[in-house]
Structure 1
């Protein structure tokens, strides 16, 4: 048999421990017909590739036919919709409680990186084209971003696997290839999953700025004890000329200086990297 090319997607995804321990990007592929198994190789150069992961089933990979703006975090996004062209793939509507429990999750390619989104309603609006509505944005510590026409959407299911990379791959632009005769592609891996999550609940009361830490180690169920709101945080203030150098604090609050127009807060991880900023 003669098989066509493989649509390979390499994703520097947010924290998704259900796809296995270790550090490495998530990888998905689609081909029609599916060759049975796709061995994905990666390396620092075309002539230095080694096996990174084996994929045993095709993933559901679509592309947006309409642009989608960034949505809210912490509540339903009823304004935006994802119109997805996905030949050979299907989507299904699910009840609200199933979505809130983590179902119908996908990774969306945005200007801010790979955003984890979920959807409640799936409607077939044209041949191989679906409209996904009732969205939850910025899941798993990711940040909502603008998605352009042609942006990829990958369903998070058993067809997605985590690649295994050596330490020299971090921060490097790697070459990826699904088959020996496919055109190689490049993708940067910065271990976005290892970054601290953005903090939440920024508020100013009685001249004190406070916030709440978020993270994959915080229990998702309200039946569990509340996690300790502690860590190392970087805090910066805009006094009218842009944000200055941040200060580092070990408590989830700081005094609001007189004359500050806005503030931003980010958690500092155990490896010293600063997470994504939250602004008030």
Structure 2
């Protein structure tokens, strides 16, 4: 590697620190020596490092801040031939190979150190009286192999002096990526990708530990892809002894064969010289337009801050039949918050580690009371005003196609809602409109809202399943307690709830009607399913339960008059039952609920007069 030279800087405003440049005579740092003893303290010779002493961390959330160090090597670009000579100990030379801004040569030997440089630039390593030498195809032809140099007879038998072949098109990568150090972005890793037209599926990449601009990297990538395309053409020549003057790596012209050819192999075979050649691109050509190096994405070095935790019992979010409650944890915080450790508290009070939280969730509180709404209409009158945890949290609008894919789904209290539009009304404040109410069977919660209730944007990659992490399942009716502890938390943050098993509860039937018949009333309804939220075929939704059963309850005020089970979506309250109940001439409320495998569903209601 080219030896770096550190440039002197003004004293840091962070605190005092010492720079050790990695020399062979580097002394032990006094702070390390005082900690472990001078006899046991390493000097780290050959390693450059900076040591901070008494660095105040209070301004950085009590953690080590992001630090950037700039190390400069040479003051100007270096000849590629010089890099090759230095990496090989002077055994490899070259002329006119161009310049490099920096190259990190590494590997077990010279071949490994120089291989990325040779591959990316399409160089050839030739040997001769002057030793090893790097050559580029752009240097032009060293000469021409004339037709009279070919031989048609070897050892008294006829041979084909010239054999040509062409590789398959799909053997050339359809896209080539080059990973390099981007000089415009503090030598962070950059990637340039070039795609060719035509057939093919495979993609390839080149790792080049060289500092260069994005333009240069893209041009180099295009040149390599062009070389791979040209290199499909191959040729084997049988020549006389004079061909021993050619060396592997030489670029030549061949009579009756257009273009430039590189000799890849030279072999003495049956009293003749066999040359294996591959076509290489000629000099010139049009390089692709300028490339963008991209932008550096810097994370804000903000304090981690306290953790906010939400524990939710979700209805089914995906199609399919749930067999256990769907319990999820969402955790979040300010701009510097990253994650928190999770713990499940058992009946004994012991906190069991349950992994870590998922990504930073978008959550907050509802500021105004949300009026009751219908699950069958798009609510364009009501507005949902929320205050999020942090000002950098964003909500975005969604069109019909995006809503159909599940975007902008949120849990408001216990109701699942989707919103079309989101407008920022102030710091951390948003107004949501175009509401789809009572989704996934949560219409029962549409009239049970209050000011200050929780708001959570449902993004599955930002939800964690703490019970799965500890190999447990939630019991219906049990109380679940989950705690979170992040870097900014002095004490664990706890959330607690009673498990209702929303994913296991069949939704309420719909289209409940009552029709007067001779001596009584006939009730009819249409069942729903917790596994059939998409009506894709026009047929009945799947049952999703072990059997089809319903419970019909007749209420007079707060008193239950009759409970009946039925296996079909209809039931008649006939004259005999009315007489037995003594309910003739009374106003009753009928409740119909589906009996599920794990739980009784929520009821649909209708008022009747008997």
User: Equivalent residue for 2:430?
Assistant: 130
Structure 2 equivalent of residue 12 of structure 1? 313
Contact 1:82 1:131 (C-alpha < 8 Å) held by counterparts: yes
What TM-score does the superposition give when structure 2 sets the normalisation length?
0.42
- CA, structure 1 residues 55+122, in 2 after alignment: closer, same or farther (shift >3 Å)? same
Separation in 2, partners of 1:248, 1:60: 44
Matching residue of 2:529: 215
The aligned residue for residue 91 of structure 1 is 395
CA shift in 2, pair 1:54/1:95, >3 Å: same
Of stretches 222-231 and 246-255 in structure 1, the one that deviates more from structure 2 is 222-231
Cα distance change, pair 179–228 in 1 and its aligned pair in 2 (3 A): closer
Task: Work out the CA distance in 2 between the residues paired with 1:3 and 1:45.
Answer: 31
CA deviations over 1:194-226 (Å, ceiling 9, x no partner): 111111111123532111111232251343533
- Cα distance in 1 for partners of 2:407, 2:493 equals 34
Q: Is the 8 A contact 1:172 1:189 kept in 2?
A: yes
Taking the aligned partners of 1:199 and 1:84, their CA distance within structure 2 comes to: 32
- Matched ranges for 1:95-174 at <5 A: 95-109=399-413, 114-142=414-442, 143=444, 144-157=446-459, 158-164=461-467, 166-167=472-473, 169-174=475-480
The match for 2:550 is 233
Whole-Å Cα distance in 2 between the matches of residues 171 and 184 of structure 1? 19
Aligned equivalent of 2:590: 263
In 1: Cα distance, 2:403 partner to 2:473 partner: 36
Q: Give the distance between the partners of 1:161 and 1:145, measured in 2 at CA.
A: 29
Secondary structure, aligned partner of 2:553: strand
1:248-280 deviation line (CA, Å, top 9, x unaligned): 111101114564532111111112x21111111
Query: Is the contact between residue 44 and residue 169 of structure 1 (CA under 8 Å) also seen in structure 2?
Result: no
Deviation readout 1:99-145 (Å, 9 max, x if unpaired): 24532111111xxxx21111111111222211111111111111223
8 Å contact 1:45–1:174 — kept in the other structure? no
Q: State TM-score, norm by structure 1.
A: 0.86
- Unmatched 5+ stretches in structure 2: 1-62, 64-302, 575-583
Counterpart of 2:403 in 1: which secondary structure?
helix
Task: Report Cα offsets for 1:45-64 as digits up to 9, x if no partner.
Answer: 58411133532310000211
Summarize the Cα distance change of 1:219–1:169 in structure 2 as closer, same or farther, 3 Å threshold: closer
The whole-number CA distance in structure 2 between the counterparts of 1:264 and 1:43 is: 38
Give distance in 2, aligned partners of 1:55 and 1:216. Answer: 28
Distance 1:56 1:219 in 2: 27
1:26 counterpart = 2:336: no
The higher radius of gyration belongs to: 2
State the Cα distance separating 1:35 from its structure 2 match.
4.7
- What do you get for the CA RMSD once the two structures are aligned? 2.7
- Bigger mean CA offset, 39-48 vs 184-193: 39-48
Q: Is the 8 A contact 2:506 2:594 kept in 1?
A: yes
- Pair 129,135 (structure 1): closer, same or farther in 2 beyond 3 Å: same
CA contact (8 A) 1:233 1:267 kept: yes
Structure 2 vs 1, CA of residues 26 and 19 (structure 1 numbering), >3 Å: closer, same or farther? farther
- Whichever structure has more helix as a proportion of its residues is 2
> How has the CA–CA distance of structure 1 residues 130 and 36 changed in structure 2, closer, same or farther, with 3 Å as cutoff?
closer
Instruction: Give the match for residue 197 of structure 1.
Output: 507
How far apart are 1:243 and its partner, in Å?
Answer: 3.6
User: Does the residue aligned with 1:198 lie in a helix, a strand or coil?
Assistant: coil
1:160 CA drift (Å) = 1.7
